[in-house]
Each structure stands twice: as C-alpha cells, then as structure tokens.
C-alpha cells in the first residue's frame, strides 16, 4: 500500500464528478420492499408508535397499492392485525383458509398481478400470548407442533396465490417442514424467504403494538427461539442449515445494527440476502427528525446506503414510499 504523499485519499473526494465516478454502491427503488399492516375492516388508522404508518383494510388497500406501484415499488410484505376475539391459544385463525391474509392475497393477485407479495409465516398475530408458536405446559413454545401449523399456514397462502412466503418464527426445522409440504402439494415454485438470522431485539417494540400484541404486562420475551444479539457464529449456523433445508433467500433482522452478519453471509453463502429495517429503527429516525434533531431525508438515505454497502440485495423498510419519492 502506498503511503502519503504518494497516496492522497482526498484526490478522489475533491470534486463532485470524481466522487460520483468512484461511488461504490447505489440505492434504487428496485431494492425496496414496503411492509404493510392490515386490519379486518373499516377505514385506515395510524399506529401511534410509528408516526406516519397506517393500517389498511381490504377497503382502503387498493388505493394504497395503486400509489405504491406508481412510485415504482415492486413488492410489499403484509402483516395482519386480526380482531382480538380471533386470537386463540392454539392460533386457529392462522390456518383458516379465509383469514385476512388469504383474502388479501386473492384480492392482490386478481387486481395487481404484477405486484410482488410476501407473506410472513409466524403465529404471533394469531396467538393470545403474542408468541410466534403455541405454548406447551412448561410455558415454552412447542417446536414440533408449531412447525406443523406453520406448514399448513404456508400451504393455505400458496393455494390463495402467494408466490413468496417468509417464515419469521425461528422454530427448528421450520424450513424443512414447509418445503416438504409445498413440494408434496406441487407448489414447487413458491419461494421461501427465511428469517434465518432473526435476533431477539427490543427494536421490534412498535411492531408489536401494530399487530395488536401490546400488553400492559412485561415485554414478551422471545429469547428461547430468537437469536442472542451477542452471537454471530450461531446466526451463520442457522443460515447454513436453512439453505440446506430449502430456503431461497435469507433474511437478517434487524438491519442497521446487524450488518456484520449480512457481510459474513454474503462472503460465505451463495444466496441473496434481504434485511429488515424494523419498526424501532424506523421510529427512532422518524421521531428524531420530527424534533428537528436529525435531517430526515439525509439520515434515512444514509441508513439505507449503509445496508447496500454491507452486501444486502433486498431491503424491507417502512421508509420505502418516501424513499421512492426522493429517488424519482
Ligand atoms: C413476527 C415478526 C416480528 C417482526 C416481523 N415479523 C416481531 C417479532 O418477532 O416479535 C418485527 C418487524 C418490525 O419490528 O418491524 N414474527
């Protein structure tokens, strides 16, 4: 490596055109997926802990999708807030073939066949406890029973027309069970985007309110299944296992504090990597900008460019709509 003064780093930073020529990564609207919250009925409402983010019903979603598609966004990920009365210990609504998600899939496939639709697979919108699986007598989520329900849920979504499912439950053997079920039922082309590097994060806080899992009790701890944020090796092991079980795309979640994991997967595995910039990451920037502490557009774009630099191919972000407007 040449040193100073043979090498002067500022030679490639001194003018705009040189900086442009030497820019290594560009964010585009094609990289973005917009997460959308759904509710059973009525007009849309706002989520108090995520300023600017709405929940839509099937009545209001069509107009919203038209907006999104006009902005050039090509895919959405949907998350349901079902009625409280439908939340059950055994999560029966999760496998109702006519539940909110199945109805939405059918509507979107019919009216917007070009739009990418990604459906989350986990039981937390459907359980009374707010856990991602059903609880056993010992108070822990029962792994093997839960993955059977998740595979049935996946099959229902595939039958309704969903082309990409995204298991975010962090159960063992989930991908194997789902892939086998899809294969057996001839859904050989349904893509699995697996949340294999999903950490047990406090940045999910606002999301839990958004899907109606806000409890006055203490924070729902998912540490018996989600990854310890202190661990990297364990995340890579989970990723490698899920690739063998049939995952097509890997998800890292949350995003900005976990980019070392993205880079490591890109270096080690031949697979597209997606990241999820989660609800807490959204609200932090949004609220700091509202208070004029940060420049909104610049900090949001920086956060996303850093994700690109880490090697991610796909970015789930609640900022997607605004970003698509800025990039136009
Ligand atoms: C559910 C799920 C969660 C998120 C996406 N899918 C929350 C959780 O694991 O508790 C979080 C998304 C966000 O915070 O924006 N399995």
How far, in Å, CA of 38 to CA of 234, rounded?
A: 33
CA of 118 to the centre of ligand 1 (A): 14
* Residues in contact with ligand 1 (CB, 6 Å cut-off): 120, 122, 124, 132, 168, 204, 207-208, 222, 278-279
> Separation of 203 CA from ligand 1 center, angstroms?
9
Mean pLDDT of 154-176: 98
| Averaged pLDDT, 15-30 | 98
**pLDDT at residue number 124:** 96
**Element at 298 (helix H, strand E):** helix 296-309
Residue 38 backbone phi and psi in degrees, to 5: -120, 150
Mutate to test the pocket of ligand 1, among 36, 119, 124, 203 (most ligand atoms within 8 A of CB): 124
Q: What count of other Cβ atoms lies within 10 Å of the Cβ of residue 279?
A: 24
> How far apart are the CA of 317 and the centre of ligand 1, in A?
13
Active site residue 217: no
Eight-state DSSP code of residue 9: G
pLDDT of residue 217: 62
Asked whether 63 and 111 are in contact (CB, 8 A), the reply is no
Q: How far is the CA of 36 from the centre of ligand 1 (A)?
A: 12
Q: Measured between alpha carbons, how far is 32 from 23 in angstroms, rounded to an integer?
A: 20
- For the chain, what is the mean pLDDT? 97
Q: What's the pLDDT at 218?
A: 66
d(CA 90, CA 262): 34
pLDDT at residue number 259: 98
**pLDDT for 247:** 98
- CA 255 to chain CA centroid, nearest Å: 10
**pLDDT per residue as tens digits for the range 115-130:** 999 999 999 999 999 9
Q: Is the pLDDT of residue 167 over 80?
A: yes
pLDDT of residue 77: 98
- Asked whether the beta carbons of 242 and 196 are under 8 A apart, the reply is yes
User: What would you report as the CA-atom Rg of the chain, rounded to the nearest whole angstrom?
Assistant: 20
The answer to whether residue 79 scores a pLDDT higher than 60 is: yes
Tens digits of residue pLDDT in 66-78 = 999 999 999 999 9
Give the pLDDT band of residue 209 (cuts 50, 70, 90).
confident
Answer whether residue 216 shows pLDDT above 70: no
CB atoms within 10 A of CB 306: 15
Any idea of the CA torsion for 315, 95, 128, 42, to the nearest 10 degrees?
A: 70
Instruction: Tell me the C-alpha to C-alpha distance, in Å, between residue 90 and each of 98, 112, 141.
Output: 17, 33, 11
Give Cα separations from 297 to 54, 286, 320, 323 (angstroms).
20, 10, 12, 8
pTM of the model: 0.97
Name the band, by pLDDT with cuts 50, 70 and 90, for residue 273. very high
Closest CA to 196 of 253, 158, 155, 244: 253
Residue located nearest, by CA, to atom 12 of ligand 1? 278
Q: Which of 52, 81, 278 to mutate to test the pocket of ligand 1 (most atoms within 8 A of CB)?
A: 278
pLDDT of residue 199: 98
C-alpha closest to that of 269 among 247, 288, 254:
247
- DSSP class of 15: S
pLDDT of res. 220: 86
User: Could you give the CA distance from residue 160 to residue 157 in angstroms, rounded to a whole number?
Assistant: 5
Closest C-alpha residue for ligand 1 atom 6: 168
With b for 16 or more beta-carbon neighbours within 10 A and e for fewer, the 190-202 pattern comes to bebbbbbbbbebe
Which of 39, 87, 253, 321 is an active site residue? 253
| Phi and psi at residue 157, to the nearest 5° | -65, -40
Lowest mean pLDDT, pick from 153-162, 201-210, 230-239: 201-210
Query: Taking a C-beta distance cutoff of 8 angstroms, is the pair 281, 203 a contact?
Result: yes
pLDDT at residue 80 in the model:
97
- Parallel/antiparallel/unpaired status of strands 45-46 and 75-81: unpaired
For 127-148, what is each residue's pLDDT tens digit?
999 999 999 999 999 999 999 9
Q: What is the pLDDT of residue 215?
A: 58
Q: Ligand 1 atom 10: the closest Cα is on which residue?
A: 204
Annotation marks residue 321 as catalytic? no
List, in order, residues 6 or more apart from 117 with CB less than 8 Å away.
Answer: 75, 76, 78, 105, 108, 109, 162, 163, 164
Q: How confident is the model at residue 219 (pLDDT cuts 50, 70, 90)?
A: confident
Site to substitute for ligand 1 among 50, 101, 122, 206, most atoms within 8 A of C-beta: 122
């Amino acid at each position: 490596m040449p040193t100073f003064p043979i090498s002067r780093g500022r030679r490639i930073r001194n003018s705009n055109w040189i900086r442009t020529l030497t820019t290594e990564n560009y964010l585009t609207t094609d990289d973005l997926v917009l997460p959308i919250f759904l509710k059973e009925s009525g007009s849309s409402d706002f989520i108090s802990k995520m300023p600017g983010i709405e929940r839509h019903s099937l009545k209001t979603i069509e107009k919203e999708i038209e907006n999104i598609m006009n902005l050039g966004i090509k895919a959405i990920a949907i998350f349901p807030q079902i009625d409280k009365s439908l939340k059950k210990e055994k999560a029966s609504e999760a496998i109702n073939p006519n539940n909110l998600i199945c109805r939405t899939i059918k509507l979107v496939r019919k009216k917007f066949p070009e739009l990418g639709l990604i459906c989350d697979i986990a039981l937390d919108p459907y359980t009374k406890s707010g856990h991602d699986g059903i609880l056993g007598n010992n108070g822990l989520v029962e792994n093997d029973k839960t993955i059977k329900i998740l595979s049935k849920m996946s099959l229902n979504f595939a039958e309704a027309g969903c082309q990409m499912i995204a298991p975010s439950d962090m159960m063992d053997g989930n991908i194997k069970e789902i892939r086998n079920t899809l294969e057996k039922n001839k859904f050989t082309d349904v893509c699995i985007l697996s949340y294999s590097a999903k950490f047990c994060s406090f940045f999910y806080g606002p999301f839990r309110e958004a899907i109606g899992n806000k409890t006055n009790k203490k924070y729902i701890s998912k540490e018996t299944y989600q990854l310890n944020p202190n661990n990297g090796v364990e995340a890579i092991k989970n990723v490698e296992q899920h690739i063998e079980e049939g995952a097509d795309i890997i998800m890292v979640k949350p995003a900005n504090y976990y980019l070392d994991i993205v880079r490591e997967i890109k270096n080690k595995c031949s697979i597209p990597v997606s990241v999820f910039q989660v609800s807490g990451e959204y609200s932090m920037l949004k609220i700091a900008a509202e208070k004029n502490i940060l420049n909104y557009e610049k900090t949001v774009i920086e956060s996303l460019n850093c994700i690109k630099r880490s090697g991610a191919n796909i970015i789930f972000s609640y900022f997607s709509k605004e970003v698509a407007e800025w990039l136009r």
